[in-house]
Structures are given as structure tokens and as C-alpha cells.
Amino acid sequence: MISRRAEPLIPFDPAPAGKTVLAVEEVCKHFSGKGALFGKSRVIEAVDRVTLHIGASETVGLVGESGSGKSTLGRAILQLDRPTAGTVMLDGRIISTLSDRELRPLRRDMQMIFQDPQSSLNPRMKVGAIIAEPLEIAGDISGRRALRERVHQLLDLVRLPASAAERYPYEFSGGQRQRIGIARAIALNPKLVVADEAVSSLDVSIQAQVINLLTDLQSELKFACLFIAHDLAVVRHIADRIAVMFLGRIVELAPTDSLFERPRHPYTRALLDAVPIPDPEVEAHRRREAAPIVRRRYPWQLTEVEPGHFVAPSEPEAPR
């Protein structure tokens, strides 16, 4: 754990969309494990001093390869896995120090859309009951008729027919099941939605439909969104800003257009270089530059290289 408070890694107001809904300040998530050599215990720093802010109605994409710590950060933000250190604030209130009992009424304000809709939906429950469950727990709606009408309204929002309420999840396609998961996530009008690889298991054409749906819902419901993915091409179509995560830390944070047009960190350039070009002939003759990525940790500070575009150094500082 961090025993003293260091200077913030991102000393600026990083929620340009207006009111800050989510404020993550130097959050760490460490795990204890055993190394391969003689089984000695060691600390795995899955997330290390991450600072990130998201404004109302803003989507921030969080990208990185498997093992970069992005999903762990998402779970730490939602307090599904409590952070080892640092602060998480939701709508101006610190939630990372609350007990489970104190946190329970705030769960309605932060919801997650999971990667695999099939495993996240109870196969023994009808779709109507799945969507109604958070409404019943919260006690927002009284009476079966009012509850049924709200379920039908939510199904309409995610572009599914009211008749879907009487069917089971296995009767739907993967894209439709993800729409059901989204309906459940927005049932209580949350302030923050974390979408963890929400479209990675879907076909490309279905991905576009789900992304367009999320964009429309956010425009209507005004929630903040952290969209976690490994595919930059997907994130480009939904994110206002993109944070690139590497070895548990954010190495670049920028408006989406700026990141794609002027990537500064070699790891970001490597991720962009891996995105295929739709034209087969151009792709076949494409030259890829090797990115000199440092595969070890070292202290760094994000520096603003242009308005709203922040980047970490790509080489360790020389010893003094």
C-alpha cells in the first residue's frame, strides 16, 4: 500500500464535458501471489496510481492489451474489488471508504455491462424478471402493473419488443442478450455505467449496433460511461476521450481524434499499428514500425503536450 500521498499524476481538470461524475485519484489495486521461484510471495501491482475523471454524458474509452489492468480498474471503481489505496468519488462523494452496508444504497448509481451476456443473465429467469429485479430491490416502483410497464419501456429503449419479457435468455442471439443486459443496467437511471468489453464477443456488424444503442441511450439518460476494450477501432466510435493503459498505469490520455491523429507514446502507436486497414491491398503493403516499449515499471508523470492531450515518458529518467 502507499503510505504517503504523492503528487497527483494528472494535476488538471480532466472532465471537459462539465460536471465531474467519476473522480479516480491515484487508485491502486495490488494482489498477493507466489512467484515461480521457490514459491516466494510477491505483490502483483495490477493497478498502480491511476487518476482519471469522467464528466456527465461523457464516454472515456480505456484500452490496453490483456493483463494491462483495465478490467481490474473497472471493478475497483465500482467497488466490486476494493482498491488497495487511492480515492474513488462518485458525484462528489467518496465511496472507496464506505462499508458494504453504506455502499449498498449507492449501487443504483453505478452499474456494469459485462462482456458475456449469456453468463451474466440468470438462465432460469424470464427476461422481464431479470430487468425488473433491480427495480424490485430498490423499491422504486410499486404494483405489478407499473413494474411491467417500466420493463416494457426499458425493452423499448434497447429496441426489443415487449413480448421479449416472457422469454428466456437462451432464446435470444448474443446481441439481443447484450441489449437485455443493457436494459437491466440502465433500469435505475445510473450516473455511471462501466462497460467491460461489452461488445468484444459480438460480430462486427452487431458491435456497431450495440455501440450506436449505447450512444443514443447516453444522449437521452446523460450517464457517464467508462468503456473498457482492447480494440482501439471499436473505442474510436464511442469515446470522447481515450485513456491508454499499460502495466497498470495510464500512459496516454487524449481526445479521441487527437489520439488517433497524433499518438505520442510508443505503446499507443503499437496499439494503433495493430488495427487493420479495411483495404486489403493497402493492408498487404503496410509498413509497421517497431515501437520501443519499456517492459518494466518506473515512476512517471503525465505531461500535457497539447490542450487535453497527456502522455507519460516512454523511457525511464536517467539516474541523478
Say yes or no: domain 20-311 is CATH 3.40.30.10. Answer: no
Alpha helices in the chain (DSSP H): 70-77, 100-103, 117-120, 127-138, 144-157, 174-185, 204-221, 232-236, 256-261, 266-273, 280-284
Q: pTM value?
A: 0.85
Mean pLDDT of 35-59: 82
C-alpha distances in Å from residue 193, one per residue of 105, 142, 229, 297: 16, 25, 14, 30
CA–CA separation, 252 vs 282, rounded Å?
28
Q: pLDDT tens digits for 165-181?
A: 999 999 999 899 999 99
Q: pLDDT tens digits for 108-146?
A: 999 999 887 777 888 999 999 999 999 998 887 878 899
* pLDDT-based confidence at residue 15 (cuts at 50, 70, 90): low
